[in-house]
Amino acid sequence: MAAHLLAHEVADLCLGKPPLKSLCVSATIGEALISLKSCEENCISVWDCDHFKNVDCICVGKICMVDIICFLCKKENVNSPSLALKTPVTALLPKDSVLVRHVQPSTSLLEAIDLILQGAQNLVVPIETRFSGSSRRKLLQKSSSTRGCTLHDGREFCWLTQDDVIRYFMSSIGLFSPLPTASIDALGIVSTEFLSIGYHSSASLATEAISRSLVDQTSVAIVDEDGVLIGEISPFTLACCGETVAAAITTLTAGELLAYIDCGGPPEDIVRVVKERLKERNLEGMLEEFEIDPSDISSNSSLSDEELPSPTSSRSSGGRHNKSSSYSARMVRRAEAIVCYPGSSLVAVMVQAIAHRVNYVWVIEEDCSVVGIVTFANMLEVFRDQLESMMLGHFD
């Protein structure tokens, strides 16, 4: 069984995946913003190519909306976001990063898992398509002149992510029995180190934590004074809001930010608070750059000052999360955290994460206090160890 699983190559997991949209390494952050808004994917690849030299194209990183949001929230950029958007896109790429790694289609599944566990978020895999000599020259000419193209050295590429590997294991979960039914606590994959911010704290204090959560593919928990989980500031949710959320992070508390990014669109009263505070802080540049269109605001999402969400309003009756709420459907842009318990089974947590399109699930106790977080990376370590054990048993 293990031999069958490990016989697969990364090309097998990439079947049907769309080619990467790309951005030139010389582009500005403003150009990256435009590309992201016109792209269906939540991130765009950044490439260093020189088609006039005999040098292979290389993907040097990736950019998502949250990278731009956090960049605009920096103290040196809040006064003039329009100037910040003219900064080269390389300012958003971490130095000496291993977040993006090139691999061949023949790379084994085990090698791919090892790279992911070493920190790679995205493996860049060439899509195996053959071109004739003349077609290749035409494609190279097109790729050198087209913004947001998908071609590099006449080839197209796609991503392989943690999510892809976890879904692959989920499709073969029966082969790992009895591992899937074991609790995440018994497996020792609940990480007690997680990012958090107080409900009444300024959201701007979470900027560095948001950037860190983007790298770790996790989230930032919003907790009350008792450590109870109220919600989260998720990179996935922020990416759905667009760059205007930078103004909200700059001016609101963490609790107010929850209401701002929660499903549907920002309530009018909170938008008014953001504008007033921007004026008070003389951040006219941010106010002008990120003027929120009232037509984007849901008519039924208005909240009065008295109706701003409180720590207790985010919990079910009796001050506790309803256990079934962790399985409820979550709307896009929803700030509600997805939770499980230490006794939850591995397969149940996998299903939750996959269904909600996140790479993690918060782990809470019966009193809703956060005890940790379980991530796809934690799960992959378990599956890798299990595969090695199965292989040893096979050879023995």
User: In this structure, is the dihedral angle defined by the CA atoms of residues 259, 265, 269 and 272, taken in order, positive or negative?
Assistant: positive
pLDDT at 145: 38
Residue percentage of the chain with pLDDT more than 90: 61
Do 238 and 248 meet the contact criterion of CB atoms below 8 Å apart?
no
Residue percentage of the chain with pLDDT more than 70: 78
Do 386 and 357 meet the contact criterion of CB atoms below 8 Å apart?
no
pLDDT at 273: 94
pLDDT at 270 exceeding the cut of 80: yes
Q: What is the pLDDT averaged over residues 67-86?
A: 94
For residues 118 and 306, the model is more confident at 118
DSSP string, 184-246: HHHHT--B---EEEETTSBGGGGHHHHHHHHHHT--EEEE-TT-BEEEEE-HHHHHHH-TTHH
Do 340 and 184 meet the contact criterion of CB atoms below 8 Å apart?
yes
Length of the chain equals: 396
Query: Cα–Cα distance between 379 and 367 in angstroms, integer?
Result: 25
36-45, 122-131, 285-294, range with the lowest pLDDT: 285-294
Confidence of residue 95 (pLDDT cuts 50, 70, 90): confident
For residues 389 and 55, the model is more confident at 389
87-101, 286-300, 309-323, 360-374, range with the lowest pLDDT: 309-323
Three-state DSSP at 345 gives strand
Nearest partner of 263 among 349, 329, 353, 358, judged by Cα: 329
Residues 6+ apart with CB under 8 A from 279: 287
Q: What is the pLDDT of residues 148-160, one digit of tens each?
A: 456 676 789 999 9
- Per the DSSP assignment, residues forming a β-bridge with 126 are 157
pLDDT at 67 exceeding the cut of 70: yes
pLDDT at 375 exceeding the cut of 90: yes
pLDDT at 364: 97
pLDDT at 240: 82
61-65, 147-151, 258-262, 302-306, range with the lowest pLDDT: 302-306
pLDDT at 35: 92
Beta strands in 88-153 (DSSP E): 100-102, 122-127, 151-152
Q: What is the pLDDT averaged over residues 352-361?
A: 94
pLDDT at 329 exceeding the cut of 50: no
pLDDT at 327 exceeding the cut of 50: no
pLDDT at 188: 97
Q: What is the pLDDT averaged over residues 150-173?
A: 88
Answer left, alpha or beta for residue 23, where phi above 0 means left and psi between -120 and 50 means alpha.
beta
Query: Cα–Cα distance between 339 and 363 in angstroms, integer?
Result: 6
Query: Cα–Cα distance between 342 and 229 in angstroms, integer?
Result: 15
Across the chain, what does the average pLDDT equal? Answer: 82
Q: What is the pLDDT averaged over residues 373-377?
A: 97
For residues 332 and 247, the model is more confident at 247
Q: What is the three-state SS of 269-306? A: HHHHHHHHHHHHCCCHHHHHHCCCCHHHCCCCCCCCHH
pLDDT at 312: 42
pLDDT at 359: 95
Confidence of residue 317 (pLDDT cuts 50, 70, 90): very low
Residues 6+ apart with CB under 8 A from 214: 64, 66, 67, 70, 235
Do 52 and 79 meet the contact criterion of CB atoms below 8 Å apart?
no
For residues 396 and 221, the model is more confident at 221
Q: What is the pLDDT averaged over residues 367-378?
A: 96
pLDDT at 136: 47
pLDDT at 150: 63
Q: What is the three-state SS of 144-161? A: HHCCCCCEECCEEEEEEE
pLDDT at 311 exceeding the cut of 60: no
**Amino acid of residue 170:** M
Q: What is the pLDDT averaged over residues 258-274?
A: 85
pLDDT at 369 exceeding the cut of 50: yes
pLDDT at 264: 61
Element (H, E) at 113: helix 109-117
